[in-house]
Amino acid sequence: EAPAKPRRKATAEQMAQRQREISVSEFFAKNRHLLGFDSPTKALLTTVKEAVDNSLDACEESGILPDLTIEIRAVPGASDRFVVSVEDNGPGIVKAQVPKIFGKLLYGSKFHRLKQSRGQQGIGISAAAMYGQITTGKPVQVWTKTGKGRPAHRLEVQLDTRKNVPVVLSDTEVDLEKDHGTTVELELQADYGRGQRYLLRYVEQTVLANPHLALTFLRPGADPLVFPRASTEPPKEALEIKPHPHGVEVGTLMLMATESKYRDVRSFLQNSFSRVSGGVADEILGNAGLKRTLRTQQLADDRELAEKLRQGILDTRIMAPSTNCLSPIGDELIRQGLISFLSVVEEEAEELPQLELLEKGARRGRKKAPVKTSEEKQAELEKAAADAVPPEPGEEIIKGKKFFIVSSTRPPKVYRGNPFQVEVGLAYGGDWPQDKTIELYRFANRVPLLFQRGACGVTDAVMKTDWKKYELQQPRGALPVGPMALLVHIASVWVPFTSESKEAIAHYPELLAEIRLALQDCGRKLAAFIRKRKAAAYELKRRSIFELYIDELARSLHEITGADREKVKGDLVVLAREITGGEETDEILDRVASNPKKRRPTDEE
Amino acid sequence: EAPAKPRRKATAEQMAQRQREISVSEFFAKNRHLLGFDSPTKALLTTVKEAVDNSLDACEESGILPDLTIEIRAVPGASDRFVVSVEDNGPGIVKAQVPKIFGKLLYGSKFHRLKQSRGQQGIGISAAAMYGQITTGKPVQVWTKTGKGRPAHRLEVQLDTRKNVPVVLSDTEVDLEKDHGTTVELELQADYGRGQRYLLRYVEQTVLANPHLALTFLRPGADPLVFPRASTEPPKEALEIKPHPHGVEVGTLMLMATESKYRDVRSFLQNSFSRVSGGVADEILGNAGLKRTLRTQQLADDRELAEKLRQGILDTRIMAPSTNCLSPIGDELIRQGLISFLSVVEEEAEELPQLELLEKGARRGRKKAPVKTSEEKQAELEKAAADAVPPEPGEEIIKGKKFFIVSSTRPPKVYRGNPFQVEVGLAYGGDWPQDKTIELYRFANRVPLLFQRGACGVTDAVMKTDWKKYELQQPRGALPVGPMALLVHIASVWVPFTSESKEAIAHYPELLAEIRLALQDCGRKLAAFIRKRKAAAYELKRRSIFELYIDELARSLHEITGADREKVKGDLVVLAREITGGEETDEILDRVASNPKKRRPTDEE
Amino acid sequence: MATRDVTAKKTLAKIEALAKGVVQEVKKRKNPRLVVPLRTLSNVQFNAKKKIIELGADKQERAFFNVAQAKKFMQTFLVASACKELLEVGKTTSIRDLYYMTKHTLGDTRQNTFDEQDESDPIIEDLEVTVDALREELHLFANRKGLMVGPMTVIDSGDTIDLRRQGSGGWGVPSIVEPNVIRFGKTEAKYVLLVEKEAVWSRFNEDKYWKKEQCMLIHGGGQPPRGVRRLVQRMHSELKLPVYVLVDNDPWGFYIYSVIKQGSINLAYESMRMAVPGARFVGISSFDPERYRLPDETAIRMDDGDHKRIKQMLEYPWFEKKQWRRELEAMASNNKKYEIEALSRRGISFITEEYLPKKLRDRDFLE
Amino acid sequence: MATRDVTAKKTLAKIEALAKGVVQEVKKRKNPRLVVPLRTLSNVQFNAKKKIIELGADKQERAFFNVAQAKKFMQTFLVASACKELLEVGKTTSIRDLYYMTKHTLGDTRQNTFDEQDESDPIIEDLEVTVDALREELHLFANRKGLMVGPMTVIDSGDTIDLRRQGSGGWGVPSIVEPNVIRFGKTEAKYVLLVEKEAVWSRFNEDKYWKKEQCMLIHGGGQPPRGVRRLVQRMHSELKLPVYVLVDNDPWGFYIYSVIKQGSINLAYESMRMAVPGARFVGISSFDPERYRLPDETAIRMDDGDHKRIKQMLEYPWFEKKQWRRELEAMASNNKKYEIEALSRRGISFITEEYLPKKLRDRDFLE
């Protein structure tokens, strides 16, 4: 068949003239939703989050207990514009770095090293600045001071989106009272009315995952929220590590060899990777069938050699990466976190549905109870506990409601050479409805994930766990249903997100498998708890059945034999208790019951 | 409270030393899942897709009817490596451009203009090459020839990931028989066993959305699949347009002014935007309270002026963008497409479940019936129709099964200044189970979307449509259930994807609203059809009830009055038909019935 | 027998006219219809003078070509056809037998003309009112339930039966007790005692209560069938015997009393022949449990159905009597009901030896 | 009366011993248990010599502290206690009455001791076998169903009753028909005809079949109660009258015949007194519809329950007789069943005037 007559022909030459380089800032300006700026609602949270992430990372790295103030200010005369300001007491930023940090995408200290941190891409804060600039035309402002007695600077920075380079609009020395710290402030198109609920959730969850943080949140038209520091112990510090040989692919191996300053492959292996001693290096080379004298440059140039070496690495048993590169939240904090969420959820169950990317409408006027310090919580707990049977291990009493709380921390594992660790917390019980989908709280490197729940690997892992085994209902291919909250935290030197906005975790099988294992561990404990309760409830049910008939039987026996009716009845009652688990049944069910008056199931149930 | 003693302090200076620029290739090498390379299974499809997208775009632009050959070859001795080769008869690529096109991310001709095309980012094919290079160490190979009598070239290109620049490894002149065209070939780590079903689906759907394409698919260990050209009429060409003023934000406006060659704002407006005539420009300036003599450079420098101008633009009514920048698939083709999918689905209903990001296991040995040409289809249709009652408008007979098929094309709309258009096709009926989730086929700019269904705005729009209104079942917050297939196509000069891998469409409210309107339009037609059928079925049910008793009544009347039993019965039967819609009921139900013998409901139903 | 033949001919003619009408309509291609007098609450009224429930004038159309009515239409003629046959051969049969006679499967379906007798009984009643012929005139009789003993002789179809000599068994009350079938012979009875349940009747018979008290002892096995009601009515009107009714203390029991006395909605067209306006309620009254110190453990808790029924009954115009309302309202507020047998907690024969004699002596009954 | 007193004392002692055992166990803090002989298929066997079904030796433990058994345990003693009272005052009562006597609400719950008579009847049977006392010895009698007429005089509790002169009513067969209550007087009857249903009995009585044929006409209202079975057995053994059984052509009808002849699983312990091994099945046979040209429209399609029942019956060891199997297998393969009334399609009195006389003349029956 003959091609039809072309209507108009662009030649290869004509087409070639149109080929152009695209700067990364142009790309993201157009694809701003990839960075979390798809709506004025989300833009607000994304901006706050990026600034807070940076402050927390900087404080952590320089050993400072963070003290942050987030401020949202309305812009007079423009209902769709707000100013976001985040102030920290961090180490400050060397003046020369300020323009690039705030005015250039893909610039930062965290991308090129393997270390658990909140930020990792070098995109976030400069993307926020760019969004502000595009939507309002205004530059980002930065105040920073790096130490006592040193000068403080205020800079206004713009981003040249065509070239992805910063433009400094002004640069002045200013007075700052504090010894050190940074304030970043920018104006952007935003919707605070709709966005505030996400902000509040973000702030609460961030405080919970970072108990060493003191935070003040200043909001338009509402009282400030003040979260005092809950712990003066900073989280365990995550150390930087080198890549693990098992995660390295041929192309990467060749690139590393090219850039290596070590001349022989043996030293290259020992110095560029973690867990490779001289002995291990020898074993790798042996397995690869390569000489110990092989030079690194040969490896860089010869694909066949690199392939052999990689095979040698894969054939060699090498210790798993050290775990000190990871800083999990820890069992205790996860439990405290869950307890705290539950307090909020219990209060506002009807007000705060699960968050989704598209909000269905603004919810205003939400009341907020400041999170209590751990001392206050402790006092409350003790008070509630005093009135009740002492809880079993795993049980907690929160505002008079009984919850079963467990957590599980997996040992660190590796995907593509990146160590990571999964933690899961589970809370069950209270007065929550039996027929609602569970609450799911997702965290990555201590940062709460509030959007794109449906696209997240964590959600997928929860859905693909068979909760029916653990005594919960679960519609096919969906989250389980029941009075339960789950907290899932992934700590990693490199968290794979589904997009640059870091809202959801990608579906890497290694990650999903670990999450599932942690969920299963919690699930098994939950199932044991529920079954025990069910068994006790069954015993009580049995007892109530026997008790129902005892009176009648005693009368008949009395009428036939003349035996004392009360005596026979008493004997039967004692027997009924013995046969149905005795005191133990009472106790288990006492613990379950929120309301002691409703304790006994009657025949009407 | 005093901060605790810091354990180790990194100073701002120390931290500054670690700050580095990150190249976009480094970024994506680490975040390869953002590009669709998260697993060896997906990598294969992504690679084929990027190459085919480029070929189809190039052919379209140069007015050539495309003739493509996709080849997948196994690499001897390595079960996890495959070679992908895509050959076209396109215009070819000017040699000087080859390195950047295949060896540099964010390079291309499509990003900077507003025109509907498959590729749009300048990332795809170079990302595939980079993935191949990282996983196998091998460069991408390109053969290209730009016209009869011109030399053909073969190049081997590598990507320097540290700098995002191409490195040409070899460059030779070669002989190519054909007049013009390009072949790209690369080796990559892949899983053909698991990936082939996605490839097949992709190929089928691509052929359907591009009937002017002739395609050959060469596969390991199976016969070639040959799809002849189904139409020699190329699709309506989409024209490039300028941005629409209503979608431009302050920052962008200032940037455009800076770069404009027009000295006064009036000309700037007329020449840089679509739908701005001299009169409109004057109106804008008037509404903005700006002088007609305002110079463009003033606008570029003064944010306040830019703000005023933007407000002026928003206050001015401006025509919607021209629709000739869009090339929808069209009603006829959508219906043909659905018919064709149905043929495949009917055959393989059990074999091909809905695709998800994570496949549950490999499915091998799938048999494939080559898609028929439209002539063959027509012949089949006519043959089937000859044996049956002529179908009502909207009904189609496919392999003897009756389907109701409708489509709806929305008028073009704009989001953020980008024109777009939504088309929806709906097929209902056949022998499909009543209790299964519907089939959903998603397309963007004629490219089928096979992954991340759950994260896609299209899916969201379908879920948020109230299908119960249209006589379908629908679990809360889920896709509807019933014997139905939906095809949704979005054509736009800039499709917003949820990630660079272009697998799912972002949740922009303007897009979702249009999709819903199109779905509702189809839904209404479907509901009318179903209700008509239900009404006829009800009449038949009534008739069968009457007929059930007629015999008995006739006998009783005969026994009491002596009247002729057969005569009375005959009269009653005639009456029963008249009262229950007469012939019409028969006809409607004849049309529904696949099997005429089962036509009449009996009392057992 | 001559009268019977004349009546039979009349009835036959009525049935034939009905069917011919349908055949005509069908011939004219019209949807055939029946006009059936309504036997519903809305179409009965209480005749305060006669103190009985009577049928009103409302009628209902029943069309064959109406999904909700087609089956009943067909059934009506099926029954009519069977009655025609009975009339022609001069035989009678029970309505249960008629159900069996007309029950069969329709064509090669799984549907039957009737599935339960509950379906054919109302059709018979419909036919009765539609062609204006009593059941007996259709040569049908109701299922029989009910036994009688007492100081009386009856002549049943020519046989003389001494109801003083029925041992533990008792005489089964036939369905048709019209004077041409049953005649009353010699009697020393002073009143009629109708009890609700056979079990209680047996207790009274074993205790030879009727002998001591010189009364006719009869039961109707729950809601008494037409034969029992008609026989009681005849003894009341022809022999001038007072009638006392003893039923369970629950809404259903009390309703039985009301039916004996005033007639029922369903058979309002027969009230004239059936109702005994002078019938008296002797118990169990809602005030008896307290008065006769019944142990609490003999009570049965009322369920939702009981309460609903009481509410319904209180809305009937013929339940307006103050005493009746008191009875039912006390029952509802007690939230308890009692079987007649509850009295046996005070001794197996407490009811025959103390309770009932005292009630009658004290004239402690409702009217 | 003296014998009755002695028996009553014995029975009383048995009940008391049972209850005392429980009181003792409870005192020892043991879960009290009853040992109840099993009245199930697995514990009956067919005595081929006597041709009756007999109870085996298997027993079942019933513990109070077992959720599935607690209620029944309680009910057993509730019934035992009521029987004790009856025995002490020397009265009898019906099992229906016993149900009412013992039914009440438990404490302040909504549960009753019994909800249906279906619950109390098996408890009574359990008590009978557990204390080894027949129902009559517990001073209970079954609900009565069934009427009899025919050329015979019976003496019931001293009253002489002429069953030739029962009009359209008939003599209600009492529950207890032991010789100390019922004696047979003068009779001209040549055989006993037991029909399944009252409606059919009425047809035969109206047609005065028993007079023409000189037979006793009796029905048991479906599955005949003990009284009817025992009376038929006594007429058969004492008066040497052949017994013919006429039932519907469905599995339930045929099973009634088998129970009359050989006894039932549930009352296997009474077979000796109840079963009539010589009883003959006259119809409706599965081969009658063809033989007697019954119109197809009188058939009722068998349902799943019917087929299941046939399958079950064919597995009983006492259904091994070839003729019986033929009957049931034909029924199953016809997939149709027929009421006795189906015969009236051949004329209202076809059954009494042609069908049955011919069957008996031709000796066309099963044994």
Contact C171 D173 (CB under 8 A): no
- The CATH classification number of B325-352+378-524 equals 3.30.230.10
Q: Contact, B245 vs B284, CB < 8 A?
A: yes
Q: Has residue A590 got a pLDDT over 70?
A: no
Distance CA B538, CA A523 (A): 51
Neighbours of D10 (CB within 10 A): 14
Q: Is residue C260 part of a domain?
A: yes
A14: Cβ contacts below 8 Å, ≥ 6 apart: none
Tell me the Ramachandran region of residue C356: left when phi exceeds 0, alpha when psi lies from -120 to 50, beta otherwise: alpha
> Which chains share 3+ C-beta pairs under 8 angstroms with C?
B, D
Location of structure tokens 């660790």: A421
Pairing of strands D33-37, D59-63: antiparallel
Q: What angle do CA B303, B309, B312 make, to 5 degrees?
A: 145
Contact C110 D166 (CB under 8 A): no
Tell me the Ramachandran region of residue B547: left when phi exceeds 0, alpha when psi lies from -120 to 50, beta otherwise: alpha
Catalytic residue among D99, D100, D191, D269: D100
Q: What angle do CA D12, D17, D22 make, to 5 degrees?
A: 130
Helices (H), A390-508: 457-464
Distance CA D135, CA D39 (A): 15
Contact C109 B574 (CB under 8 A): no
Residue numbers of D between 91 and 120 with CB closer than 8 Å to A: 106-107, 109-111, 113
Exposure of D291 in the CB half-sphere (CA atoms within 13 A): 11
Q: Contact, D283 vs D245, CB < 8 A?
A: no
A545 contacts in D (CB within 8 Å)? 67, 70-71
Give the least confident one: A436-440, B394-398, C291-295.
Answer: B394-398
Contact C16 B545 (CB under 8 A): no
Q: Is residue D47 part of a domain?
A: no
Contact A62 B500 (CB under 8 A): no
Question: Could you tell me if C98 and C152 lie in one domain?
Answer: no
Tell me the Ramachandran region of residue A251: left when phi exceeds 0, alpha when psi lies from -120 to 50, beta otherwise: alpha
User: What's the CATH number where D331 sits?
Assistant: 3.40.1360.10
Question: Could you tell me if D165 and D288 lie in one domain?
Answer: yes
Does the domain at residues B245-320 carry the CATH identifier 1.10.8.50?
Answer: yes
Per-residue pLDDT tens over the stretch D328-364: 999 999 899 998 888 877 777 888 888 888 998 999 8
Nearest Cα residue to C138 out of C128, C146, C123: C128
Tokens of A580: 């149905």
Nearest Cα residue to B6 out of A62, A212, A215: A62
Predicted-assembly ipTM surpassing the 0.95 threshold: no
Question: Of the candidates D79, D111, D141, which is a domain's last residue?
Answer: D141
Contact C93 D203 (CB under 8 A): yes
Catalytic residue among C100, C257, C269, C292: C100
- C-alpha distance from residue A294 to each of A281, A291, B180 (Å): 12, 5, 46
Question: Could you tell me if C91 and C216 lie in one domain?
Answer: no
Q: Has residue A523 got a pLDDT over 90?
A: yes
| Chain C interface test: which of D104, D114, D176 (most C C-beta within 10 Å) | D104
Question: Of the candidates C114, C141, C168, which is a domain's last residue?
Answer: C141
- pLDDT at position A374: 55
Question: Could you tell me if C121 and C99 lie in one domain?
Answer: yes
Q: How far is D281 from chain C (nearest CA, A)?
A: 21
Q: Contact, A146 vs A56, CB < 8 A?
A: no
Backbone angles phi, psi at B25, to 5 degrees: -75, -35
Distance CA C189, CA C244 (A): 13
Q: Contact, A432 vs A401, CB < 8 A?
A: no
- pLDDT at position B184: 97
A538 contacts in D (CB within 8 Å)? none
Distance CA D57, CA D44 (A): 9
Tokens of D353: 């005037």
Q: Contact, A397 vs A461, CB < 8 A?
A: no
- pLDDT at position B376: 55
Instruction: Give the number of domains in chain D.
Output: 2
What band does B590 get if pLDDT is binned at 50, 70 and 90?
Answer: low
The response to whether C196 counts as a known ligand-binding position is yes
- pLDDT at position A234: 85
Taking each helix axis as running N to C, give the angle between helix B278-288 and helix B265-272, from 0 to 180 degrees, rounded to the nearest 10: 130
What band does D272 get if pLDDT is binned at 50, 70 and 90?
Answer: confident
Per-residue pLDDT tens over the stretch C84-96: 988 988 888 888 8
- pLDDT at position D109: 79
Q: Has residue D133 got a pLDDT over 90?
A: no
Give the least confident one: A437-451, B263-277, B576-590, C103-117.
Answer: B576-590
B254 contacts in A (CB within 8 Å)? 137
How many A-B residue pairs are in contact by the CB < 8 A criterion? 268
Location of structure tokens 């041709």: D51
B113 contacts in A (CB within 8 Å)? 18
What band does C1 get if pLDDT is binned at 50, 70 and 90?
Answer: very low
Question: Could you tell me if C135 and C151 lie in one domain?
Answer: no
- pLDDT at position C253: 92
Contact C158 D167 (CB under 8 A): yes
Residue numbers of C between 50 and 69 with CB closer than 8 Å to D: none
Mean pLDDT, residues A171-180 taken together: 93
Report the amino acid identity of residue B333: L
Maximum mean pLDDT: which of B310-314, C27-31, C43-47, D272-276 = B310-314
Question: Could you tell me if C185 and C127 lie in one domain?
Answer: no
Residue numbers of C between 155 and 214 with CB closer than 8 Å to D: 155-161, 164-176, 181-182, 197-200, 202-203, 206
Distance CA C150, CA C140 (A): 28
Distance CA B2, CA A599 (A): 49
Q: Please name every residue paired with C44 in a beta bridge, in sequence order, or none if there are none.
A: C55
Hey, is the C-beta of A568 within 8 angstroms of any chain D C-beta? yes
3-state secondary structure of B543: helix
Nearest chain B alpha carbon to A247: B135
D19 contacts in A (CB within 8 Å)? 556-557, 560-561
DSSP letters spanning B125-136:
HHHHHHHHHHHH
DSSP one-letter code for D222 = S
- The CATH classification number of A325-349+384-525 equals 3.30.230.10
Question: Could you tell me if D162 and D126 lie in one domain?
Answer: no
Contact B498 A494 (CB under 8 A): no
Give CB contacts under 8 A, 24+ apart, made by A358-366: A358/B460, A358/B507, A358/B509, A358/B512, A359/A41, A359/A194, A359/A197, A361/A194, A362/A193, A362/A194, A363/A197, A364/A193, A364/A196, A366/A196, A366/A197, A366/A200
Contact D19 A556 (CB under 8 A): yes
Tokens of D137: 């010895």
More confident residue, A411 or A597: A411
Contact C168 D156 (CB under 8 A): yes
D29 contacts in A (CB within 8 Å)? 571, 574-575, 578
Per-residue pLDDT tens over the stretch B254-297: 999 999 999 999 999 999 999 999 999 999 999 999 998 999 99
Does the domain at residues B24-227 carry the CATH identifier 3.30.565.10?
Answer: yes
More confident residue, C301 or A6: C301
Mean pLDDT, residues C239-263 taken together: 93
DSSP letters spanning A113-131:
SB---S--SS-HHHHHHHH
Nearest chain A alpha carbon to B90: A12
Q: Is residue D55 part of a domain?
A: no
User: What's the CATH number where D115 sits?
Assistant: 1.10.10.10
Nearest Cα residue to B250 out of B208, B214, B321, B299: B299
Q: Is residue D272 part of a domain?
A: yes
Contact D182 C200 (CB under 8 A): no
Q: Has residue B394 got a pLDDT over 80?
A: no
DSSP letters spanning B365-407:
----PPPPPHHHHHHHHHHHHHTSPPPPTTEEEETTEEEEEEE
DSSP letters spanning B286-347:
HHHT--TT-BHHHHHH-HHHHHHHHHHHHTS--PPPPGGG-----HHHHHHHHHHHHHHHHH
Q: By residue range, what is the domain housing residue D82?
A: 2-31+66-141
Q: How far is B145 from chain A (nearest CA, A)?
A: 9
Nearest chain D alpha carbon to C337: D104
What b/e readout covers A160-173, taking b as 16+ CB neighbours within 10 angstroms? ebeebbbeeeeeee
- pLDDT at position B602: 34
Question: Could you tell me if D223 and D322 lie in one domain?
Answer: yes
Q: Contact, B90 vs B182, CB < 8 A?
A: yes
Per-residue pLDDT tens over the stretch B95-149: 999 999 999 999 988 888 888 889 888 898 999 999 999 999 999 999 999 999 8
In whole numbers, what is the pLDDT of chain A averaged over residues?
84
Location of structure tokens 């990555």: A444
Question: Of the candidates C141, C164, C199, which is a domain's last residue?
Answer: C141
Q: Is residue D317 part of a domain?
A: yes
Taking each helix axis as running N to C, give the angle between helix C251-262 and helix C322-334, from 0 to 180 degrees, rounded to the nearest 10: 160
CB burial of residue B383 (10 Å; 0-12, 13-18, 19+)? exposed
Catalytic residue check, D100 = yes
Q: Please name every residue paired with A73 in a beta bridge, in sequence order, or none if there are none.
A: A83
3-state secondary structure of D353: helix
Distance CA B6, CA B12 (A): 15
Q: Is residue D224 part of a domain?
A: yes
> Which chains share 3+ C-beta pairs under 8 angstroms with B?
A, C
- pLDDT at position B373: 52
Question: Could you tell me if D14 and D82 lie in one domain?
Answer: yes
Torsion of CA D162, D167, D169, D175, to 10 degrees: 10
Question: Could you tell me if D84 and D225 lie in one domain?
Answer: no
Hey, is the C-beta of B239 within 8 angstroms of any chain C C-beta? no
- pLDDT at position A87: 97
Mean pLDDT, residues A419-428 taken together: 93
Hey, is the C-beta of B542 within 8 angstroms of any chain C C-beta? yes
Question: Could you tell me if D130 and D152 lie in one domain?
Answer: no
Distance CA A2, CA A4 (A): 6
Hey, is the C-beta of D91 within 8 angstroms of any chain C C-beta? yes
Mean pLDDT, residues D33-54 taken together: 86
Residue A116: alpha-carbon gap to chain centroid: 13
Q: Contact, A601 vs A541, CB < 8 A?
A: yes
Nearest chain A alpha carbon to B36: A498
> Which chains share 3+ C-beta pairs under 8 angstroms with A?
B, D
- pLDDT at position B359: 30
Question: Could you tell me if D186 and D325 lie in one domain?
Answer: yes
> Which chains share 3+ C-beta pairs under 8 angstroms with D?
A, C
Hey, is the C-beta of A604 within 8 angstroms of any chain D C-beta? yes
A512 contacts in B (CB within 8 Å)? 358
Cis peptide before C53 (omega within 30 of 0): no
Nearest Cα residue to D4 out of D129, D178, D227: D178
Element at B357 (helix H, strand E): none
Q: What angle do CA D1, D4, D9 make, to 5 degrees?
A: 130
Distance CA D93, CA D97 (A): 6
